[in-house]
Amino acid sequence: MAARLNDKITAALVALGICLLVYISLMSSLLVILIIVALLVVLLTYCEKTGLIDTVFQLMGKNTTLTSVIFGLFIISLPFLVKGNNDLLHIMIIAGIMGIVALGLNFQIGGIGQINFAPAVFYGVGAYTTAYLSVRLGVSPWLGTIAGVCLATLTGVIIGLPALKARGYYLALVTIALQTIFTLMIINIPAVGGPNGIPGIPYYQIFGYSLHSRVEVFGLTLPYQVNYLYLVYIVFALAIVAASRLFKSRYGIAWNAVDQDPVVAATQGINLTSIQLLSFCLGAAFAGMAGALYAHYTGFISNENFDFSQSLILICMVILGGSDNVPGVITGALLLTMIDQKLADYANYRLLMYGLVLIIILLVRSKGLLPKRIRIYGERDTGMSNGDAKLAAGAGGKR
């Protein structure tokens, strides 16, 4: 019993530590974030070496309720912690939106092991659909959002189909080509604003309460971003739950099987077509949702928000955080969004920085900050000692 309590306290402390790390990096300057990232790399490498990291993951896995309550409280109290600073709230909102897209992208990169270079297309289709419907046709933003998710899913099929035929470099080329076509078409079609984009997208309303109004609590005037922060993080939380469950479900295993060897996977009765399309469609649905949130948050979208460099940033999030690992992807999304937003002061060096950071992380930790973990099915105790698990992991890694 005492050990159980001890576990709980440890898990809570770890969760608090993570929250504080997020808070500090949010508040501080770019240099501090970079130092934090460097320390994180060292710490994680150390934990990996000693096997601590597995224990931490087990601990967190056992106390999900407790840790998610802590994370939830952190998000709820964040606006007060930052004293209603709209800049910082904006960063967190964008991080949440990017996180949703990255979780969806992870179904392709982490799941079936194919790099899709066009996640920004899904993201853009979601945003453009709802923007078009709500601005040009006056449809309610909520309905527009649903339409956006549906259309993005459909786009998932369109981009997923070539993926059935092509893998590796060929898929990379196909998705880059489709990404380029998407951007060019947006620019060329006046109905979606052409190069001008779509301004004046209406904001969400809940029972007549516009999410774009300021909030007054405890005598503190908070900017309207607070509403969006909560909305985005509710969706983000749902996405996290959905993604984790998916990866633990039979679909997740099927994805990994396809990643390892499609032919063998097919001989095990996995329908390659449907399982690969599923990963693209689900990823697209996540991205479509995020796109709609983004459109109704900023009130303006244009092709620049959904071009190839945006796709590349999204891929970086997944790879740097750790593909096929939900906490890893979230870490990647949070860290990179913060770095990206704080890089605004050094706009000249922004892309150079991205390139260098990506190369360095690939060289130092090719599997990301928080790499993929060995699957643990349910709560079953496999009777494996830690050493065995490590050996198994080692053997698996050699493949």
Partner 1 sequence: MLEIKNVSTKYGHLPILMDVSISVARGETVCILGANGAGKTTLLKTIVGMVKPTAGEILFDNELISNLSPHQVVKSGIAICPEREGLFPKMSIESNLFLGAYYETDKNKIQQRFEEVSSIFPWIRRRLRQKAGTLSGGERKMLTLARALMSGPKLILMDEPSLGLAPATVIEVFNVIKKIVNDAQISILLIEQNAQKALDVAQRGYVLQKGSVILEGASKGLCNEDFVQRCYL
Partner 2 sequence: MGSLILSQVFNAIMLACTLALIGIGFSLFFGVMDIVVFCLGDIAIASAFCILGITSLTGVYAALNGIFPMVVSNIILVICGGVFGAILVTVMYHTVVAPFEGKNINASLLSTVAAGYVIRELIGIFYPGGRDPQNFPNLLPTGYLFNNTMLSWRNIIIVGTTVLVLMLLYWFVNRTKAGISIQALSQNKEASIMIGIDWHKMVIVTFLIGGFLLGIAGFLTASYASTLRFDTGSMYGLLGFSVAVVGGLGSIYGALAGSLVIAFVEVFVTGFIPGGAAYSGVAGFLIVVLFIIFRPEGIIGEKSISKV
Partner 3 sequence: MTNFLKKRSILILACVVVSLSLMSSFLLAGCSSKQSASAKTVKVAFIGPLTGPDASEVVGPKNCFDLAISQANASGKLPYQIQSVYYDDASNAGTAANDAQKIVSDPDIIAVTGFFNSAPCAAAIPIFKNAGIPLVIWGAISKDLTQAANMPYITRVVPTTFQEIQPMATMVTQTMGYKKWAVITSTSTYGQDTLAGFKAGIQGVPGVNIVSVDSIADGTTDFRPVVTKLKSEDIDAVFFGDNLTEAALAVRQMQELGITNVLLTGTSALTDPAYIKAAGTACEGMIVSQSGEDPTLLPNGQAFVAAYNAKYPQGSYGSYGEYAYDSTNIIIAALDGLGANPNPKDLATKIAAINYNGLLGTTTFDANGQTTDKLTTIMVVQDGQFISWDNSQYKTGVRKLPPV
8 binds partner 3 (CB under 8 A): no
6 binds partner 3 (CB under 8 A): yes
The sign of the torsion formed by the CA atoms of 111, 108, 294, 289 equals negative
| Nearest distance in Å: CB 263, partner 1 | 18
Picking from 381, 136, 163, the residue whose alpha carbon sits closest to that of residue 283 is 163
| Nearest distance in Å: CB 115, partner 2 | 5
Site string for partner 3, 87-126 (x = CB under 8 A): x--x------------------------------------
348 binds partner 2 (CB under 8 A): yes
267 binds partner 3 (CB under 8 A): no
> Is 93 or 370 the residue whose CB approaches partner 2 more closely?
370
Q: Any alpha helices (H) in 322-372, and if so which ranges?
A: 326-342, 350-364
Contact pick of 56, 59, 85, 162 for partner 2 (by CB under 8 A): 162
Q: Which two tokens stand for residue 279?
A: 């990963």
> Is 191 or 363 the residue whose CB approaches partner 2 more closely?
363
Site string for partner 3, 127-166 (x = CB under 8 A): ----------------------------------------
Instruction: Indicate which of partner 3, partner 1, partner 2, none lies near residue 1 (CB less than 5 to 8 Å, by partner kind).
Output: none
Q: Any alpha helices (H) in the chain, and if so which ranges?
A: 2-27, 30-50, 52-62, 64-81, 86-106, 119-136, 141-165, 168-188, 225-248, 250-260, 262-267, 272-298, 308-321, 326-342, 350-364, 386-398
Contact pick of 34, 45, 68, 86 for partner 3 (by CB under 8 A): 86
> Is 118 or 198 the residue whose CB approaches partner 3 more closely?
198
CA distance 126 to 153: 9
Q: Which two tokens stand for residue 143?
A: 């309905």
Inter-axis angle of helices 168-188 and 141-165, to 10 degrees?
Answer: 140
Instruction: Indicate which of partner 2, partner 3, partner 1, none lies near residue 59 (CB less than 5 to 8 Å, by partner kind).
Output: partner 3
> Is 32 or 143 the residue whose CB approaches partner 3 more closely?
32
Instruction: Indicate which of partner 2, partner 1, partner 3, none lies near residue 9 (CB less than 5 to 8 Å, by partner kind).
Output: partner 3
Instruction: Indicate which of partner 3, partner 2, partner 1, none lies near residue 137 (CB less than 5 to 8 Å, by partner kind).
Output: none
Q: Any alpha helices (H) in 107-165, and if so which ranges?
A: 119-136, 141-165
Please check whether residue 375 is in contact with residue 257, taking contact to mean a CB–CB distance below 8 angstroms.
Answer: no
The window from 82-90, 283-291, 344-352, 380-388 that contacts partner 2 (CB under 8 A) reads 344-352
386 binds partner 3 (CB under 8 A): yes
Eight-class DSSP state of 218: T
Query: b or e along 230-262 (b: 16 or more beta carbons within 10 Å of the residue's beta carbon)?
Result: bbbbebbeebbebbbebbeeebbbbbbbbbeeb
Residues 188-207 that bind partner 2 (CB under 8 A): 188
Contact pick of 39, 42, 184, 206 for partner 2 (by CB under 8 A): 184
The sign of the torsion formed by the CA atoms of 258, 264, 268, 274 equals positive
Please check whether residue 133 is in contact with residue 143, taking contact to mean a CB–CB distance below 8 angstroms.
Answer: yes
Residues 87-116 that bind partner 2 (CB under 8 A): 109, 113, 115
